[in-house]
Chains A and B, each alone.
Chain A
């Protein structure tokens, strides 16, 4: 566990030296190399921030960076896809527009390859996720329906701090 504490500290320092904003630091933390998935709370916070135009730009910049990362950082790529998927469902309409315009960034990940030192094919997760998102982005009707469903569920659950 301590290994990841060290890594988290290093990430904090890099956030500072690179001049990343708070929301960008959150995106970096949600898409880090830690071997557990991004928390729902964190993703929800990021998705909500996409309704603010400046934060939206900062978020997409960071997701884009993570999506184009090297094979050995396949977790960055995979979690960036997970976060993008979340934001497509729960984020602003701008996320949808942006992702459609830049569909090729995700689509070209459907052949992503990475085999780790133990010979395990870690690329498979990325390929699968990239395929799902590509299909979703090409199916306007389904995407709208899923966004509506999510909205409704949120309202039924009486989400306290939600816009």
Chain B
């Protein structure tokens, strides 16, 4: 087993990591939805260009 202090410390360290990874996930999701919009816009352009041919 490990002491109470150590388990609080390990919990604190885990929370530190958790909060940061959660922030990164949020940023990644934001970037992802931006890229999806970008793809959609480019797809429309591409489809439009093909229709013109």
Does B bind A?
Answer: no
Chain B: residues with CB nearer than 8 A to chain A? none
